[in-house]
Copies of this chain bind each other. A is one copy, B any other.
Amino acid sequence: MTVEADSLFSALAHPLRLRALLLLQQEGELCVCELTHVLAVSQPMISRHLAQLRQAGLVSDRRQGLWVYYRLHAALPDWAQQVLAMTAEGVAGESPYADDRAALVAMPNRPEASCCA
Interface residues of A (CB under 8 A from B): 1, 5-6, 9-10, 12-13, 15, 18, 77-80, 82-83, 86-87, 89-91, 94, 97
Q: Which residues of B contact A77 (CB under 8 A)?
A: 90
Complex Cα distance A87/B12, Å? 14
Complex Cα distance A1/B97, Å? 13
Residue of B nearest to A17 (CB): B9
Known A5-B90, A6-B18, A83-B86; further 9 A-B contacts with Cβ < 8 A: A1-B94, A5-B18, A5-B87, A5-B94, A79-B87, A79-B90, A82-B86, A83-B90, A86-B86
Contact B1 A6 (CB under 8 A): no
7 smallest A-B Cβ distances: which pairs? A79-B90, A13-B13, A9-B12, A10-B13, A5-B91, A83-B83, A9-B13
Residue of B nearest to A80 (CB): B90
Q: Indicate which residue in B15, B18, B87, B94 contacts A83 across the interface (CB closer than 8 Å).
A: B87
Complex Cα distance A86/B85, Å? 11
Q: Which residues of B contact A18 (CB under 8 A)?
A: 5-6, 9
